[in-house]
């Protein structure tokens, strides 16, 4: 029986279909890995507005940065 082949996601001729061994080699060769994802700040972002938790009116400062996701408990 002929080895099973994998058609890659293109519309080029079927003869380019890959054997599992070729597919494995190419997958190993063409790796990409995300090193970092940053939230893009606005250009020329204004100065950080920070306040100290000394005395009063401190609560709003504490809430300056809110977590964006909720933990599951």
Residues that bind another protein (CB under 8 A): 8-12, 16, 18, 22-23, 25-26, 29-67, 70-71, 73
Q: By C-beta, is 3 or 67 nearer to another protein?
A: 67
**Closest approach of Cβ 19 to another protein, in Å?**
9
Please tell me the distance from the alpha carbon of residue 8 to that of residue 6, in angstroms, as a whole number.
6
Q: Which is nearer to another protein, 3 or 48 (CB)?
A: 48
How far apart are CB 36 and another protein at their closest, in Å? 4
Residue 51 contacts by C-beta under 8 Å, 6 or more apart in sequence? 57, 58, 60, 61, 64
Q: How many Å apart are CA 50 and CA 73, to the nearest integer?
A: 30
What is the chain's Cα-based Rg? 26
1 or 37: whose CB is closer to another protein? 37
């Amino acid at each position: 029986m002929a080895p099973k082949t994998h058609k890659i996601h293109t519309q080029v001729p079927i003869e380019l279909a890959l054997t599992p061994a070729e597919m494995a080699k190419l997958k190993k060769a063409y790796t990409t890995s995300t090193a970092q994802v940053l939230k893009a700040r606005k250009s020329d972002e204004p100065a950080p507005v920070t306040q100290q938790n000394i005395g009063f009116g401190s609560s709003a400062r504490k809430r300056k940065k809110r977590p964006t996701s909720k933990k599951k408990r």
